[in-house]
Amino acid sequence: MTQLPLTFSAEVSAAKAKGQPIVALESTIITHGMPYPQNLEVAREVEAVVRASGAIPATIAVMAGRIHIGLDDAQLQTLAETPPEEVMKLSRADLSACLVQGRTGATTVAATMICAALAGIRVFATGGIGGVHRGAESSFDISADLQELSLTPVSVVAAGAKAILDLPKTLEVLETLGVPVIAFGQDALPAFWSRDSGLAAPLRMDDAAQIAAAAEMRRTLGLTGGQLVVNPIPFDAEIPRSTMIPVVEQALEEAESRQISAKAVTPFLLQRIFELTEGRSLDANIALVLNNARLAAAIAAAHAA
Ligand code: PSU
Ligand code: MN
């Protein structure tokens, strides 16, 4: 068997040797999810929060034909400064092509899960996952993130899915795929910028150790796939749903009239919502990512114990 094209940072490889908790972090949020220089500041801050919470961060990206598990500060800076059009947005379909072509690629939730599993990492923190887009009944636009959750054994901590998506359809697809959707500490499904989507979450847990135990139980039962842990944004950072709805509607209308499609849809909507809220959406996004990093570290610590 050929060697896996994995390069571990010194910090992550030391943590693996010692059996310390490790939290995977994605890189598409850096290259396509947030503008420079906030993307770099947030990438550094998320890593700092993971460390302060007792785990080791492993930001994942593809560079020069290798999957990097853990980036040093210079690599993080290079990635954050590279214009999004020069970085591949990698999902399951693109990963091997990016590697053999020696290109630079940022990993989405789906690709980060694949790489984390290859590296033996069980927990991954992000902001929001991809899902079923509005109008999917005609566009067929359903993020590969959902299928990945049904295939790859990683627990993904997110703040829910954004209202740019069709949340009821996203829940239906996750149910069909057999993905546990576990709300942390509340009954409602959180909606990214807002704590409550108006929909009930299928499952609820109030304790990080129980979330780790549920992942172990799935493994014991021979069930493939991961878990989606949805963690509500902190109260003081929340933007009410009533404020976000018209903003999201406007961004969606613009995407439609400009015929934005495929991989460009999510980055376009995120950028327009940032502009339309004068940066408020980004402040909320940052707060929720940090909050997810804390919970992911606690779940990883329970796995390591
Ligand atoms: N949703 C967000 N922020 C993000 C993304 C989604 O709120 O940065 C990114 C993630 O990397 C996610 C990807 O995996 O977009 C989904 O893209 P698509 O819808 O093209 O599958
Ligand atoms: Mn898509």
Instruction: Tell whether omega for the bond before 37 is within 30 degrees of 0, i.e. cis.
Output: yes
Ligand 1, atom 2, residue with closest C-alpha: 128
Does residue 5 sit in the same domain as residue 138?
A: no
Does residue 29 sit in the same domain as residue 157?
A: no
Query: pLDDT per residue over 165-194, tens digit each?
Result: 999 999 999 999 999 999 999 999 999 999
Last residue of a domain, one of 121, 148, 170: 121
Q: How far is CA 275 from CA 114, 239, 250, 251, in A?
A: 32, 15, 11, 10
Could you list the residue range(s) of the whole structural domain that residue 112 is in? 1-121
The predicted structure's pLDDT at residue 251: 95
Does residue 292 sit in the same domain as residue 171?
A: yes
Q: How far is CA 135 from CA 19, 140, 255, in A?
A: 45, 8, 12
Mean pLDDT across the chain:
96
Q: What is the dihedral of CA 134, 137, 141, 146, to 10 degrees?
A: 90
Which one from 11, 26, 148, 238 is the annotated catalytic residue?
Answer: 26
Does residue 24 sit in the same domain as residue 153?
A: no
- Of ligand 1's listed atoms, the one at least distance from the Cα of 263 is 20
Relative to beta strand 105-107, strand 56-63 is: antiparallel
Does residue 271 sit in the same domain as residue 145?
A: yes
Over 70: is that where the pLDDT of 1 sits? no
Residue 243 near residue 119 (C-beta atoms within 8 A): no
Does residue 144 sit in the same domain as residue 10?
A: no
Can 81 be counted among the known catalytic residues? no
Does residue 165 sit in the same domain as residue 150?
A: yes
Cα of 271 vs centre of ligand 2, distance in Å, is 16
Cα of 3 vs centre of ligand 1, distance in Å, is 29
Residue 207 near residue 195 (C-beta atoms within 8 A): no
Q: CA 181, CA 231: separation in Å to the nearest integer?
A: 11
Does residue 145 sit in the same domain as residue 108?
A: no
> What percent of the chain clears pLDDT 70, i.e. is strictly above it?
99
The predicted structure's pLDDT at residue 253: 94
Q: Look up residue 159 and give its two tokens.
A: 């703040």
Q: Which pLDDT band holds residue 115 (cuts at 50, 70, 90)?
A: very high
Query: pLDDT per residue over 259-269, tens digit each?
Result: 998 889 888 99
* Ligand index nearest the alpha carbon of residue 111: 1
The predicted structure's pLDDT at residue 188: 97
Number of domains in the chain: 2
The predicted structure's pLDDT at residue 2: 67
Residue 160 near residue 288 (C-beta atoms within 8 A): no
Last residue of a domain, one of 104, 121, 138: 121
Query: pLDDT per residue over 223-254, tens digit each?
Result: 999 999 999 999 999 999 889 999 999 999 99
Last residue of a domain, one of 121, 139, 174: 121
Query: pLDDT per residue over 124-171, tens digit each?
Result: 999 999 999 999 999 999 999 999 999 999 999 999 988 889 999 999
Does residue 193 sit in the same domain as residue 96?
A: no
Can 26 be counted among the known catalytic residues? yes
pTM for the full predicted model = 0.96
Does residue 47 sit in the same domain as residue 186?
A: no
Looking at residues 32-38, what average pLDDT do you find? 91
Q: How far is CA 34 from CA 170, 201, 223, 241, 272, in A?
A: 23, 27, 35, 21, 11
Q: Residue 186 carries which DSSP code? A: S
Does residue 25 sit in the same domain as residue 90?
A: yes
Over 70: is that where the pLDDT of 304 sits? yes
State the amino acid at position 42 in one-letter form.
V
